């Protein structure tokens, strides 16, 4: 959210929110997904109608990370024509009239993070809280998603890295058939495979981050590749780590089961991995000569 506000918002919004968000005095939520529009972000229905010095928002956003607990909501809403060009980005502060929240969702993982629906019922938002220009919302949303995909891939990488380290330590002390598990060649090979997946994931995430920072023309497919590959492969690493822990890996006394549950959603967040494949293939088909490394 900091990136979107810093890059597109006016000076007043930047001065108000960037120091507080960067210092984590305040927290923000990104409101894009709707009940009938997940991957199809260009067709959101939440509407914003101009009324004097305010926009009046009506609609619902779902699966919002931090919903109800954060201080400001970066909302994509429709101010114009159908399709991506009619979408605008606005900042909605928590105490805004007409802003409400659904019940906290019960999830498979990410249980330390509250997830709720964010509901707008004639919600009043000052015109001064528009981020960028009218109709810039889809562009801003996609800019934010590219960075978010790197973040999600990095989260998977962190969980997988710790899973590998915990598994390595476990194999050194757990004994079967009179010797520790690290003496079994199959398990050594499995650790080697896990470590290789981590190195490749780390490298593709770093390449994507560099492409985004330097505005490379192939930044979108690179960010998509990083998110798709890292979340898929790192989830496999966490699953292998649980398997190598045996029954202990399934217990909540050990961290592995939480890593597996928490990384599963990364294949859905910031655009499903099916959408990532679509973005990658679309770029290849439209520019066969483009280099990715």
Cα–Cα distances in Å, from 292 out to 74, 200, 221, 225? 31, 15, 8, 10
Question: What pLDDT is recorded for position 288?
Answer: 55
Question: What pLDDT is recorded for position 19?
Answer: 96
- Average pLDDT of the segment spanning 50-63: 97
Please state, rounded to an integer, the average pLDDT across all residues of the chain.
Answer: 95
Cα–Cα distances in Å, from 205 out to 217, 219, 242, 259, 281? 17, 11, 24, 19, 19
pLDDT value at 100 more than 80: yes
Q: Per the residue annotation, which of 270, 274, 288, 289 is the catalytic one? A: 270
Residue 38 confidence class, pLDDT cut points 50, 70, 90:
confident
pLDDT digits (tens, 9 = 90+) for 225-258: 999 999 999 999 999 999 999 999 999 999 999 9
Question: Percent of the chain having pLDDT more than 90?
Answer: 92
Question: What pLDDT is recorded for position 285?
Answer: 87
Cα separation, 239 vs 16, whole angstroms: 43
Q: Which of 10, 7, 4, 93 is nearest to 54 (CA)?
A: 93
pLDDT value at 260 more than 70: yes
CATH topology of domain 2-135: Butyryl-CoA Dehydrogenase, subunit A; domain 2 (2.40.110)
Residue 293 confidence class, pLDDT cut points 50, 70, 90:
very low
Residue 3 confidence class, pLDDT cut points 50, 70, 90:
confident
pLDDT value at 290 more than 70: no
pLDDT value at 287 more than 80: no
CATH architecture group of domain 139-286 = Up-down Bundle (1.20)
pLDDT digits (tens, 9 = 90+) for 109-127: 999 999 999 999 999 999 9
Number of H helices and number of E strands within the chain?
A: 7, 10
Cα–Cα distances in Å, from 145 out to 14, 44, 148, 195, 268? 20, 16, 5, 28, 13
pLDDT digits (tens, 9 = 90+) for 176-229: 999 999 999 999 999 999 999 999 999 999 999 999 999 999 999 999 999 999
Question: What pLDDT is recorded for position 273?
Answer: 97
pLDDT value at 40 more than 60: yes
Question: What is the β-pairing status of strands 87-93 and 72-78?
Answer: antiparallel
Given a contact cutoff of 8 angstroms between Cβ atoms, the answer to whether 241 and 163 are in contact is yes
270 classed as catalytic: yes
Q: What residue segments make up the domains of the chain, in order of their start?
A: 2-135, 139-286
Cα–Cα distances in Å, from 34 out to 72, 86, 87? 18, 16, 14
By the 10 Å C-beta count (0-12 exposed, 13-18 middle, 19+ buried), 186 is classed as: exposed
């Amino acid at each position: 959210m900091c990136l979107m506000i810093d890059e597109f918002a006016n000076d007043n919004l930047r001065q108000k929110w960037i120091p507080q968000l960067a210092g984590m005095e305040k927290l923000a939520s990104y409101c894009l997904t709707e009940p009938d529009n997940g991957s199809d972000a260009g067709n959101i229905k939440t509407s914003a109608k101009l009324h004097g010095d305010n926009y009046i928002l009506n609609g619902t956003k779902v699966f919002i990370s931090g919903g109800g607990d954060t201080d400001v909501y970066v909302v994509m809403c429709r101010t114009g024509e159908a399709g991506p060009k009619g979408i605008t980005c606005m900042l909605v502060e928590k105490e805004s009239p007409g802003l409400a929240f659904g019940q906290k969702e019960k999830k498979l993982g990410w249980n330390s993070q509250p997830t709720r629906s964010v509901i707008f019922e004639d919600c009043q938002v000052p015109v001064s809280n528009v981020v960028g220009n009218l109709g810039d919302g889809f562009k801003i949303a996609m800019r934010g998603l590219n960075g978010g995909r790197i973040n999600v891939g990095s989260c998977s990488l962190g969980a997988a890295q710790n899973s590998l380290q915990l598994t390595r330590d476990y194999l050194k002390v757990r004994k079967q058939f009179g010797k520790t598990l690290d003496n079994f060649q199959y398990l050594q090979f499995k650790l080697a495979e896990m470590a290789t997946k981590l190195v490749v994931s780390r490298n593709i995430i770093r390449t994507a981050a560099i492409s985004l920072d330097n505005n490379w023309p192939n930044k979108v497919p690179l960010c998509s590749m990083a998110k798709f590959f890292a979340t898929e492969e790192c989830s496999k690493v966490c699953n292998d780590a649980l398997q190598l822990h045996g029954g202990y890996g399934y217990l909540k006394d050990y961290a592995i089961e939480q890593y597996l549950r928490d990384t599963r959603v990364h294949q859905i967040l910031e655009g499903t991995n099916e959408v990532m494949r679509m973005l990658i293939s679309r770029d290849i088909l439209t520019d066969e000569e483009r280099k990715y490394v």
